[in-house]
Every structure is written in C-alpha cells, then in structure tokens.
Structure 1
Amino acid sequence: MKNKLIRAAFAAALSATLLVPTVASACTTVLVGKNASTDGSTFIARNEDSMTAWPKYFLVHEAKNNPAGTMYKSTGNNFTCELPAHAYKYTATPENDESEGQFEEAGINEKGVAMSATESGSYNDKIAKADPLVEDTGIGEDSMVTAVLPYISTAREGVERLGALVEKYGSAEVNGVAFSDKDEVWYMEIGSGHHWVARRIPDNYYAVVANQIAIQKIDFNDTKHFMWSTGLQEFVKKNNLNPAKSGFNFREIFGTNDKDDLTYNIPRVWYGQKVLSPSQVENQKIDSTTIPFYRKPDKKIDKDAIAKVLSSHFNDTKYDSYGKNEGSLRPISVPRTMESHIIQFRQNMPVEISGVQWVALGVPETSVYVPFYAGITQTPEAYRTGTATPSDDSAYWAFRTTNALVRPQYKALMPTVTPVMNNVTHKLNQNLKASDEEAMKIYNNNPLDKTALQKYLTEQGEKNATYAIDEFKALNAQLIKQYTALNPIYHNSDL
C-alpha cells in the first residue's frame, strides 16, 4: 500500500543512518477480558510502531450527519466507500501529516465502543495466490478507524462493519484489529484479500499479539464467540489450503511460521505471557511455534500491568535488548513507537465515565499514560499541536524528547527517568480515582443533562495532561544537563 510503503521506506532510511534494523511490520497488541482484570474492566491496548520522529495528534471528532451519498476517500490509496447517515462522536490519534493517510489508529465513540487498528501481519504464499490483497482499492490501516468507529454501537458491530467492507471492497493489507465495549473484547484478523475471522477473547483470558496471524481453532458452530467471512470454509476447501486433515486452524491455514517470526514476532508474545502468566510459561521456549493465542493470567490484570508489557524490552531476562543480546530479538517497546494506548471500560458507570483512553505519546518506556474520559468534548491544545519539527507547544515532542535523550546513554540516564515516571503515573492514577467520584456525583445529580459532566471530564483531561507535560519538560531539562556532562572529551583534559 502506498502510504505504508512510504512510511516503511522512510523508517528504513532513517534506521540505516542510525544503524538500527527495521522491517515493515510493527506494533504489539494486548487484549484483556473483563473477568481477567482486577475490577471487571475490559481492555484493548497497542503500541503503534512505525517512525522514530513522526508526531501524532489526539483529537475528538464531533457527531455529525452525513448527507445521502457522502463518500469516504482514502488519501493512502484509492479505497472509497459510502458512509452511513450518522456519525457518532469519537476520539482518534491521527497523523500530523495526513497526506498519505489519516491513520487514526485508536479511539472510543459515544456509544461506548473502542477500536484499535492495526496489528500488521503477513499471509503465506498459498493464500496470496488464492486470494491476493487488493492494494490499490481495498481498505487499509489508514482508513479503518475513520470508516468504522463512528458508525458502530457494540464491539460485535465493529467486526461486522469492517468485515462487510473487506468482503465488498477487499483488503489492502493483512491486519489484526481490536474492538471492545463494556462486555466484550473481540480480535479480528484479515487474512487475505477478502477473508477474515474474529474471536471473542474469553472473559477470564488475555491475549498478546505481535505481527503474526494469531487466531487458531475456529468453531463454526459457536457464533457467540466466533465470526468469519462469507464462504470462508468453501474457499479453503476449494483451494486445498488446510494443511490438517480435520479442524480449522486459521493461523496454520493463513499465517506464516518462518525464520522472521522466530526472532521478530514470537519472542514478544513469549515475553508478554511471561509477565502476565509466569507460572504457566516456565518451560515455554522463546521461539516456540505452539504458543497459545490466549491464556489465563496468574493474577488479575490492571492498567499498570498492561503498561509494563507495552514498555518492555525482555527485562530481567538474558534476552534484554540493553544486555548482551542487544539487537538479536525484536522487543515490544522500540524507538519507532509513535504512540501507545490502553483503552479501558469500567463497569457500573455511564459510558462517558466508564471509558478511559490512556494515551502515551512517544515511546512508552520513557513516557506515561495520561487518562482521558470517553465523555470529553475536546483534547488539550498540546495534543492537537505540533509538526515534524520539534516544538515546545507539542505534547508529542515533550514525551518523545525524553526517549531521544535517554536511549544513547540508557544505563546512565534511565535511573533519572524511572522515579519521575513512577511518580507521575501514581499521581495520574490518584487523580482518576478522585475525578471518578466527582464525575459520578455530577451524573447522579442530573443524569439527563450531560453538559456539566462533559465540561468536568474535559477539564480533568486538560489538568492531567498539563501536569504530565510540565513534569516531563522539567525532566528533559535535567536530562540535557546530565547528557552534556556525559559527552566524551577528545583532548587532554589536563591542558
């Protein structure tokens, strides 16, 4: 696809300059069912990886009516589709430069549905021959959130709408897409030009996905937990694509299990499961091709546990990216992460308060997840500002600068960053707890009038963002002083 190729080529050129390896596929996804979390929340989360210096925005799109015949047109390729009559309000994290596609990536709509797109993947040669991608006119990552999220009222509807678009127009890429609401978490995989499957994550399980088709056994008799494209079974049978004599394993039929998977994809899933289910993976090899799609956690999962996974680099193992194995395996957190999000829906709250989009701009290992309620009507100006050139008024650059300073002197500077991150995270968690209580008071006082509630929730997002940005700007100033002192001296310093 045009935009993905351009972004990949730019990243490759930049990485060549910095002596950092790169590939086109990127991102890591975490999905958590409501009974696997500490408080009954559902979670979908992902690192958006592509470019080392490519600003992202965080916006609110107002609800609107579309006149009959309103068309969506991608700027990334020639995908076009007619839009439904009404678009719900939704949040999104688009590109600073949308000339090659919007890439809105993740958000929550006013109906209490979240979407994260995409987890890039690959299909095998047999599938490519039988049902090739529709790169010129099919739907791709750049269009998915924009063309789907404003028009759905449940997570299941999200799968249905995107599936219908793929079947009608084709898909430009192999992708994984997450949908959630208060009750359900769905993971959908587009495995070819027109075929896809979706698996509801069981309520007491979680999943970690890393640039490889992950969904395994499909039960075509269980429509409560599985969805699939029209004619999928017939397509596979007609083209003799199933390597097994019985059953239907989507990963084995559509996916890859090659050398690149062993170093680039599988190790990230291994580590995510090691963090969340350590007792269950003691004998699981880091390059095992039989790692299950989902597991039960050893203990209930909260937002901070997901953040630990998304900010990791094989910590406390012999594979640590900052240890002897530097560069040998692809970690979860990388310099190419542009933004990371954790989207949470809590129980027993109105949707405006229940939904929280935790946004970490830049690299999550050296950033913090700032909470924004689903009921906000505007994002802070710093999240709507900034260009490819670093600027003081941009939230993206405030957080991205920290990683740029730390990475070349990681061992010396990370001890300065960690306590600041911990303190800011703790404060933001406290702030959310306090604002939850006040927001519920406002809601209970007048459930039919959302104006006061929306105003309060928007103010809390502004408050939390300002606090986090100010703390990181102060941290960056301190890091610059330390970094300067670490510069090597190339002359006799006694002279």
Structure 2
Amino acid sequence: MSEKSVIRKAGIVAGAFALSAMLVGSALACTSLMVGKNATVDGSTIVSHTVDGWYDHRMQIVPGQKWEDGAMAPVYKNLCYQTMPTKPLNKVGEIPQVSETYTYFNTGYPSMNEHKLMMAEATWGGREESYCDSGWMTIEMLQVFALQRAKTARDAIVVMGALAEKYGYGDVGEGLWIADGNEVWLFEITGPGPLWNSELGIPGAVWAAARIPDDHVSVIANRSRIGKLDLKDKDNYMASSNVISFAKDMGWWKEGEEFLFNKAYMPAEDYDYAPICSRREWRALSLLAPSLNLSPTAAQYPLSVKPDKKVSAQDIMAINRDHYQGTPYDLSKTKAGGPFESPVFYRANKDQRPDGTKDVYWERNISIFRCSYSHVAQTWADLPDSVGGIMWFGLDQPLTTVYVPVFAGVTKVPSSWSDGYRHKMDRNSAFWAFNFVSNWATLKWNYMIKDIAAERSRFEGQFFAEVPAIKATAVEMHKKDPASAVEFLTNYSYNNMLAVEKAWWELGDTLVGKYCDGYVMTDEGAQESAGYPTWWLEDVEYGKTSNPADPK
C-alpha cells in the first residue's frame, strides 16, 4: 500500500490540531553548530547546542550494561521535560533491548556516550500534515537509543532511522548534529502523517542525513538545513526509502523539479526569509567566514562553508554568547535595551503587539535568557574514548555561564548538577546559581556583565590552560590502568563543577550587595550613584512634571 493511499491531505485535520500547539515555540528554540576536524585548531570535531526553553537541565549518567535475551527497553514521550510538572513522563511502549548498551549522558537532549559520540539538537517544526501522534519515537528517545547502541555517527543514523521507520516518529521536525572523531553528520527527520500506523507496512518516518565536509562549519537555527540529496553518494548521504515519494504524494514536490529536502518538508514561510531563524544562520556563518559577505536578509544560506581560519572551542562558545554585537540587530544598543543596555527581551504576547507587528518578534539572539543549558562538545579520533571526548557544559544562558569540561569517561557528577527542581528556587541545584545571576544582571546589565565576564573568564581560562596536561596525563594512565584514568578524569570534572557552582552562588551574593538600591558599592565601602545616560533621561522626559519653569 502506498503512502498516497493512506496519507491524504484531506485527512490531515487531526494532525494539524495536534501539532499547532507544539509548533508555537519551535522557531524560538535552539541554535546548534558544528566544525569538521580539518577546520579546528586541534583536530577535534565540534558540535554545540543551546537548549533554549524549559527543558531538563540535569546531567545524569546512565550506565551501560549487558542484557539477557528477551529484555525490553521502555519508550517514553516527554523525556526532555522531566523537570516540568505539567508534562509528566509518558510510557508509550517497549521495544526489544540489545545485548549490550553503552553509558550515556542524559540531559534534556542526550548529548554524549562513553565512546565519545556526540550529539546536538535543533527543532525545525516542519509541516503540520507530517505530524503523527501515534508514532512512538521522539527525537530525544531516538538519541537515547543511538547513544546506547552506536559508536560512530553513521551507526547512530542507522539506529535512529530504523527505529523511527519501524515504530513511527511522533515528534515535530528535528535536526541533529552527530559527531565522532572522524565525521560530523546532520540528521533530519519528520513524521509520516496522522494516519500512519505500524500495521500498514510503510515507513513510519521521513528522514535524511548529510555528511559535512571535514574542513567546513555549519549551523542549525530551527529550520531544516539539508537541501540537495545525492542518494547515489552513499559516503555522504543517507535517507529513508520514502524521502522523495512521500513529498511527491503530498504534492510538495513535482517530477522534473529539483528535489530539496528542506523545501519539500518545511512550510514555505519557513523556507523563505524567516529572520527569527535565518538571522542566526547568517550571524554564525558570518562570524566564522566573514569574507563571504553573506546578506543578513537572504532566504537561504549554504548548508556549510569553509571558515576563514581554524576554529577553536572558545570560538564556538563566543558564538553561543552572541547577541549581534556590532550589527544593527543588537537591540541592547537601542531604546529597547533600556538605560543599561540589556540584551534580554521577554516575549511580547500577540495581543500586546502594536498594529502591523502581530506576526513578528524581537531579534532572536543566539544567547537567550531562557536557555536551560548549552554545551560545546569535542571529539578526538586518536585518543582513548574516556579521554578523547569533552563536553564543555554550561547551565542557563551562555552569556552568563561557565563552560566546565566533562570528559566522556566520567562516571559521576555532583548531585546538585544531576538533580534539582525547575519550578521553584532550589539552592541545592547548580542551575539556580546560574539562573539567579543571569536574572539579577538584568537590573543593571552593562555594569554587572563586566563582573560576570571577569569571573567567567577566570574559570574558563584556567580550564583551557589545564586540559591539555590533563588529557596527556590521562592518556599515560590509560596505557597502564584504564580504570585509574577514568577515576582521575571523574575527579577533575566533578571538583570543577562543584567549584564553579560555589563561585556562582558567591557571585550572586556579591552582585546583590555591590549594586544594591541602584548604587555601585566601591571596594572601600562607599556608594556611588550610577544614574542614567542622558539620552534615556531625555527620552522619558526627565523632570517634566517637576520643572518649576513649566508648572503646567
């Protein structure tokens, strides 16, 4: 039975209603980058992810193990929302377990395994007609299974594609950077429509994957990025068997036209100029390859480009922290930024927006206040697994966080990083230390961000200075006793996480005292008035109601 005879556009209404609520925030969600091994300063592959919304911020290490014949693995929905009381975990079924699973690091979107396989997610929504509520698999569930079962990016794609096709994909359109030490792939997936079920004998998902050249960089910012597919080139492309036929049956592609995955499976308004997404694509690519002189208002950008110079993990961290500094899109330098040049802009509800702006948003910065966590993950092919993978992990928004190195061989993290509430302040949770500092800084941003940046640089400077020696020591230990190397790396990451957490609670207290009541407290204990910039006082008509020269 063909997809066309089962999934007709006339029968899409249920799917459209189910999906509409899920798509509301998809374009406001994550930004993810990649760097190939020949484009980095140290030969690593890099993927990064800013997880922008209320997602599970906790880092939990799920040990690998061997399983008996007949063992089953549970399948859940809402896996990425486990700190959100209004979205409880929902078990939808079980699938056969494999004989052995690998240890993986479970965050809102699972990110790393013991074999230094790395992932970074970005939602792109897709067409309402593609959504399939009966599909078991979500993107984060596919990530779990891939990290438990695969050692390479290619194998991870095979695992995820097969499971999604067999059990159905019941999530919105998603993209994943997947990196091992040699390759970085982009995997994109969408649903088979609302009428699919497992008894039909047709694929329960539509997906495609493209390998990025080793000397290139790329970005996903809530739009599908895979365009052309050369399915004869199996070294660089993979896809589900229905990737073209489903689009044809649905009327999204016509015979004789060039087939572009993103054009077929995204709504036209997302494929065309969509500044809430495309501006971030432009910004990231322009920072990495300024010589291209890309237009900030283009509808589409190249999937990947060659950077002007070799890229470091610090460069990617800087992009994660970007809010369009030095461009017309930096709203902190406009009236919107207020007297203290804040880059934080809360969402304006539709009924609050002025006429003519009902369907537009603030400029969507890469670093955003509602980020749950972010990471910059590096993998080296020539190092032992436990040593050759580092996830630089930061809680809350990138601009005010510290990226702490967590090695792939780590076996435990502090409970304050693996546990914690999200719906109420919790001083036993590291997340709240960073969230508090970020929120407090909005009171006097251009003052407090200097204190925050200095402390941030102190820690990250220390980590980047130490890590080469830490890696070298661990490699030598691994040659003699792999377990001792794992213990060494675990202690290093564990202690640094505690140190940063402690420092950030102390920084929060310092900022409260230093900037109390609108003043700036000096080291000598004197108060100095920060006041306001003249332009802002003029703009708010300072003194108008109390000017004796104009009693009216």
Q: Same fold (TM over 0.5)?
A: yes
- 2:349 aligns with none
Q: Distance in 2 between matches of 1:243 and 1:480?
A: 61
Aligned CA distance change for structure 1 residues 79 and 163 (closer, same or farther; 3 Å): farther
Which of these residues, 28, 38, 43, is aligned with residue 40 of structure 1?
43
Cα deviations by residue, 1:192-236 (Å, 9 ceiling, x for unpaired): 321110011110001111001111111111110100001323333
Q: Distance in 2 between matches of 1:347 and 1:398?
A: 35
User: Which entry has the higher C-alpha Rg, 1 or 2?
Assistant: 2
Q: Distance in 1 between matches of 2:214 and 2:134?
A: 38
Q: Distance in 1 between matches of 2:301 and 2:443?
A: 34
- 1:234 aligns with 245
The answer on whether the counterparts of 2:65 and 2:100 sit within 8 Å (CA) in structure 1 is yes
Q: CA deviation at 1:148?
A: 2.3
- 1:265 aligns with 277
Q: Which amino acid aligns with 1:409?
A: K
Q: Distance in 1 between matches of 2:27 and 2:301?
A: 23
Q: CA deviation at 1:244?
A: 8.0
Aligned CA distance change for structure 1 residues 486 and 55 (closer, same or farther; 3 Å): farther
Q: Distance in 1 between matches of 2:45 and 2:331?
A: 30
Which of these residues, 290, 303, 310, is aligned with residue 300 of structure 1?
310
Aligned CA distance change for structure 1 residues 40 and 363 (closer, same or farther; 3 Å): same
Q: Distance in 1 between matches of 2:116 and 2:369?
A: 32
Q: How does 1:420-439 map to 2 (within 5 A)?
A: 420-439=455-474
- 1:187 aligns with 186
Does 2:476 match 1:441? yes
Q: CA deviation at 1:300?
A: 0.8
Aligned CA distance change for structure 1 residues 303 and 243 (closer, same or farther; 3 Å): farther
Q: How many residues align?
A: 453
Q: Distance in 1 between matches of 2:231 and 2:142?
A: 26
Aligned CA distance change for structure 1 residues 243 and 226 (closer, same or farther; 3 Å): same
Q: Which amino acid aligns with 2:465?
A: Q
Aligned CA distance change for structure 1 residues 323 and 334 (closer, same or farther; 3 Å): same
- 1:356 aligns with 390
Q: CA deviation at 1:81?
A: 4.0
Aligned CA distance change for structure 1 residues 315 and 325 (closer, same or farther; 3 Å): farther
- 1:88 aligns with 102
Aligned CA distance change for structure 1 residues 199 and 75 (closer, same or farther; 3 Å): closer
Aligned CA distance change for structure 1 residues 123 and 23 (closer, same or farther; 3 Å): closer
Which of these residues, 105, 115, 120, is aligned with residue 119 of structure 2?
115
Which of these residues, 215, 220, 223, is aligned with residue 204 of structure 1?
215
| 3-state DSSP of counterpart to 2:413 | coil
- 2:152 aligns with 154
Cα deviations by residue, 1:458-493 (Å, 9 ceiling, x for unpaired): 01112221222232222211111134231899xxxx
Cα deviations by residue, 1:172-202 (Å, 9 ceiling, x for unpaired): 2211122111101111011332111001111
Q: Which amino acid aligns with 1:115?
A: M
| 3-state DSSP of counterpart to 1:45 | strand
Q: CA deviation at 1:133?
A: 1.7
- 2:414 aligns with 380
The answer on whether the counterparts of 2:65 and 2:102 sit within 8 Å (CA) in structure 1 is yes
| 3-state DSSP of counterpart to 1:106 | coil
Q: Distance in 1 between matches of 2:426 and 2:300?
A: 46
Higher alpha-carbon deviation: 162-171 or 196-205:
162-171
Which of these residues, 276, 281, 295, is aligned with residue 288 of structure 2?
276
Higher alpha-carbon deviation: 314-323 or 357-366:
314-323
| 3-state DSSP of counterpart to 1:301 | coil
Q: CA deviation at 1:238?
A: 4.1
The answer on whether the counterparts of 1:257 and 1:289 sit within 8 Å (CA) in structure 2 is no
Q: CA deviation at 1:367?
A: 0.2
- 1:250 aligns with 261
Does 2:66 match 1:65? yes
| 3-state DSSP of counterpart to 2:209 | strand
Aligned CA distance change for structure 1 residues 277 and 395 (closer, same or farther; 3 Å): same
The answer on whether the counterparts of 2:26 and 2:124 sit within 8 Å (CA) in structure 1 is no
The answer on whether the counterparts of 1:318 and 1:324 sit within 8 Å (CA) in structure 2 is no
| 3-state DSSP of counterpart to 1:443 | helix
Aligned CA distance change for structure 1 residues 188 and 466 (closer, same or farther; 3 Å): same
The answer on whether the counterparts of 1:176 and 1:213 sit within 8 Å (CA) in structure 2 is yes
Q: CA deviation at 1:347?
A: 4.0
Identity of counterpart residues, as a percentage?
25
| 3-state DSSP of counterpart to 1:189 | strand
| 3-state DSSP of counterpart to 1:398 | helix
Higher alpha-carbon deviation: 202-211 or 72-81:
72-81
Give the structure-1-normalised TM-score: 0.85
The answer on whether the counterparts of 2:27 and 2:125 sit within 8 Å (CA) in structure 1 is no
Q: Distance in 1 between matches of 2:106 and 2:389?
A: 14
- 2:547 aligns with none
Which of these residues, 220, 225, 243, is aligned with residue 214 of structure 1?
225
Cα deviations by residue, 1:117-167 (Å, 9 ceiling, x for unpaired): x31112246xx2xxx321243311342322321111211011111111221
Cα deviations by residue, 1:86-106 (Å, 9 ceiling, x for unpaired): 21111121xxxxxxxxx4x13
Q: CA deviation at 1:454?
A: 0.9
The answer on whether the counterparts of 2:247 and 2:265 sit within 8 Å (CA) in structure 1 is no
Q: Distance in 2 between matches of 1:28 and 1:480?
A: 31
